[in-house]
Homo-oligomer: A and B are copies of this chain.
Amino acid sequence: MKLLIIGSMAYDTVKTPFGERERVLGGSASYSSLAAAFFAPVALMAVVGEDFAAEDRELFRERGIDCSGLLTVPGGKTFHWQGEYGYDLNEAKTLRTDLNVLGTFDPEVPDALRDTPYLFLANLDPKAQMKVLDQVRLPRVVAADTMNYWIEHRREDLAELLPRIHILIINEAETRQLSGEYNLVKAGLKILEWGPKMLIVKRGEYGVLKITRDSVFATPAYPLDSVFDPTGAGDTFAGGFAGYLAQADDLSESTVRQAIVMGSVMASFNVEAFSLDRLKTLTKEEIGGRFRAFRELTDFS
């Protein structure tokens, strides 16, 4: 099944203990769509400025990603984020945010995409996420991400969004911030009362927790002996997860769990290099190999 992803396209300036890169391709839509495209047909919605490089656009096209929803603002500049990580790669310190064209992004879903059955609303202003939802007819599955900024400053918009999505994908700190509960199981059950059927909690190097009313699934992350740049790990996870679900077109417990592990596999590759560099060279064989390695990693039969 086809998956529509809406989110941000960015140029990132990133520094980690292992190096730095200036104005490299990033953004929630970039990472998630490139990851999802390994599994399902993907359409991408985002906004860029005139400075957006032809080769960056080509990257998505050559993966067969439908870019009819990629809007270019004449004379505009692409969203720019600058951040830094210490040895604890779990959290970025944001040094600078230039919203540029993202600040006035008012998403219009192209007619041809209004019946897309799978939807991933990557991190973006919840008002923009809802505007997309208003335009898509009867989506089968809607997953959404958000971030601390929206939880703090747009809580009412989020409260409107939550009953309209099936799956909320956020990190551990955001789960606590949104729910006001420290304990993650309690936090999860509280968030489920506000609408979503499923909460997926991203815990960085510690893995993922999935909470529904009936059950909890927990998986560690794939341990790596070198992590270069964690930027986009959460978006890559979500893209792999949503892409796998869309391909399977099945929300059974076992498929959802496999999708979570597949998302973790994709994220584990992504952090091995800066920007989208690792996703660019990644092959289906490597993905299959690491999925099997993940089974070996966690098996205790």
Name A's B-contacting residues (CB within 8 A): 87-88, 182-186, 189, 203, 206-207, 209, 215-221, 223-227, 254, 257-258, 260-261, 295-301
Distance A298 CA – B182 CA, assembled complex (angstroms)? 22
A208 CB to closest chain B CB (Å) equals 9
Q: Kindly report how many copies of this chain are found in the complex they form together.
A: 2
Distance A71 CA – B298 CA, assembled complex (angstroms)? 41
Q: Which residues of B contact A183 (CB under 8 A)?
A: 224-227
Q: Which residue of B lies closest to A186 (CB)?
A: B225
> Which of B87, B185, B207, B215 lies in contact with A220, CB distance below 8 A?
B207
> Which of B182, B206, B227, B295 lies in contact with A207, CB distance below 8 A?
B206
Q: List 6 A-B contacts (CB under 8 A).
A: A183-B226, A185-B223, A206-B207, A207-B207, A220-B220, A254-B301
> Which of B185, B203, B227, B301 lies in contact with A224, CB distance below 8 A?
B185
Are B206 and A223 interface neighbours, CB within 8 A?
no
Distance A227 CA – B300 CA, assembled complex (angstroms)? 25
Are B206 and A206 interface neighbours, CB within 8 A?
yes
A252 CB to closest chain B CB (Å) equals 12
Are A299 and B226 interface neighbours, CB within 8 A?
no
A223 CB to closest chain B CB (Å) equals 5
**Given A185-B224, A254-B300, 11 more pairs with CB closer than 8 A:** A183-B225, A183-B226, A185-B223, A186-B225, A186-B226, A217-B298, A217-B300, A218-B220, A218-B297, A257-B300, A261-B300
A206 CB to closest chain B CB (Å) equals 4
Are B217 and A297 interface neighbours, CB within 8 A?
yes
Are B217 and A87 interface neighbours, CB within 8 A?
no
Q: Which residues of B contact A209 (CB under 8 A)?
A: 220, 223
Are A296 and B223 interface neighbours, CB within 8 A?
no
Distance A216 CA – B293 CA, assembled complex (angstroms)? 10
Q: Which residues of B contact A219 (CB under 8 A)?
A: 220, 298, 300
Q: Which residues of B contact A217 (CB under 8 A)?
A: 297-298, 300
Are B298 and A218 interface neighbours, CB within 8 A?
yes
A175 CB to closest chain B CB (Å) equals 12
Distance A225 CA – B216 CA, assembled complex (angstroms)? 11
Q: Which residue of B lies closest to A185 (CB)?
A: B225
Q: Which residues of B contact A225 (CB under 8 A)?
A: 183, 185-186, 189
Q: Which residues of B contact A87 (CB under 8 A)?
A: 182
